[in-house]
Structure 1
């Protein structure tokens, strides 16, 4: 499982920054708002946005967040504000909002479904918060999803972290996001941290949830795009390829346009 794409990091950086600035200017907005999680994707996305010179608002949205996530996020925000005068930040602690929501809805479902539904609720509360600030300051909500998450396995919450105005890194594999992160001098604490969505209030990683690492899923995505099937592999490769195909299939509802029931003219 070595197969990976290669990018010219400096050119990719310049291309995305130009794309972001052009899009924002055409939309006649002031800049961007980004939710900062303490992970690599939001760190890279916010740094790309900062390079446009337009207003960038970084938002911390803690909901029973692990202290390590909070610490990494704040380290990145402080570094970014020191590097770019157009960057500001704000904290919106949503823990009490989340707890109030839990009290207002029934919880008679089985534990597994309840926990997953509440995890997605966290993401949707954060999306609502980002759009609140976007409306106040005339900003675009910048998405932080990469290609493996957004178009490979659908590892995001529909109308949560998937609810954005534009996606600057959605054509980059996770490994490419890390390459860009190193180029952009993202804090080492973030570059070395295990990827996690932080939606369950524990220490489970993305790999724990997905059953495969991003490097493995990236390999599977490229092999699938090359027309390979599960019959072409054995051992761990077959397991990973099957995981990729299963997730890609069940999460198609996130990746395709919303179905519309068109009424025949006659």
Structure 2
């Protein structure tokens, strides 16, 4: 049976380090900015970056919405920048609520077409105002806003420092569409996006990432109790095997199911439903 191969962590580390060195040299840039969440992906990225650049040229930005437990990560001499995004997000939410109230009361409507029965008067029949009601400010939208806010902060800081923005996306997240377009998927360079999540764990152990980080449940930190696998309804371990067989090996779904992967259809359905994220923006 074909299955996702284990990586050779020593060779993989050398390959990634050489890739990073080559690109920093080609861009004539010797500084890097990245978001440090305290999860395994960003921690592995940090450990790899420390093999490439002087530690004083690494800027790790912690951008929490709510305070999180401090983890035992070796940040000696790393430039750690703490930015609470709570005020930004809360102000944005308030702006949406206020705008919704104005829209529904017609206080902000000055377009003649609304009063004169022009083409835009049909908007009311489509119930467009409901799109901006506070109750629709649900968790997914809030999570997207958080991710895009973090992207703005990282790229602005990188501009000030003449640095590259390092992403921390893995292949599992990418294939499952578990990212925000123009948010956490936005970066200048991606050191681990070719590795499935379970392979990132293998690399983490080789790099001696603290067990506390390796053993914690993967989470995007979007709300209390949120976990990646809770959102999916399946584990990374199962998803990685199914995605490898379906995406990399091109095995048929029915054959994958026969191998005992009970969530194969759910995993592949999510993969297919999120393909648009890998294709946008559509262009000629």
TM above 0.5: yes
Pair 1:98 & 2:120 matched: no
Structure 1 residues 116 and 51: alpha-carbon distance in aligned structure 2, compared to 1, 3 A threshold: same
Match of 2:111 in 1: none
Match of 2:117 in 1: none
Within 1, Cα distance between the matches of 2:31 and 2:8?
26
Say yes or no: does 1:125 pair with 2:149. Answer: yes
Counterpart for residue 140 of structure 1: 164
Q: Secondary structure at the match of 2:79?
A: strand
State how many pairs are aligned: 247
Contact 1:47 1:80 in 2 (8 A): no
Matches of 1:179 and 1:98, distance apart in 2: 35
Following superposition, the deviation at residue 236 of structure 1 comes to: 9.6
Match of residue 80 from structure 1: 75
Larger radius of gyration: 2
Q: Distance in 1 between matches of 2:228 and 2:259?
A: 18
Call closer, same or farther: CA 1:233–1:21 in 2, change over 3 Å: closer
Shift of 1:4: 2.5
Q: CA deviation at 1:142?
A: 0.6
Change (3 A) 1:24 1:234: closer
- Distance change (3 Å), C-alpha of 1:102 and 1:229: same
TM norm structure 2: 0.81
CA contact 2:30–2:53 (8 Å) conserved in 1: no
Aligned position for 1:44: 44
After the TM superposition, which residues 151-230 of structure 1 pair with which residues of structure 2 at under 5 Å, given as runs? 152-199=175-222, 201-224=223-246, 225-230=248-253
Residues in 1 aligned to 2:227 and 2:217: alpha-carbon distance in whole angstroms: 6
CA contact (8 A) 1:195 1:206 kept: yes
Inter-partner Cα distance in structure 2 for 1:204 and 1:168: 25
Secondary structure at 1:90 match in 2? strand
Coordinate RMSD, CA, aligned: 2.0
Unaligned runs of 5+ in 1: none
CA distance in structure 1 between the partners assigned to 2:261 and 2:50 by the alignment: 41
| Aligned equivalents of 1:221, 1:123: Cα separation in 2 | 25
Q: What TM-score comes out, normalization by structure 1 length?
A: 0.86
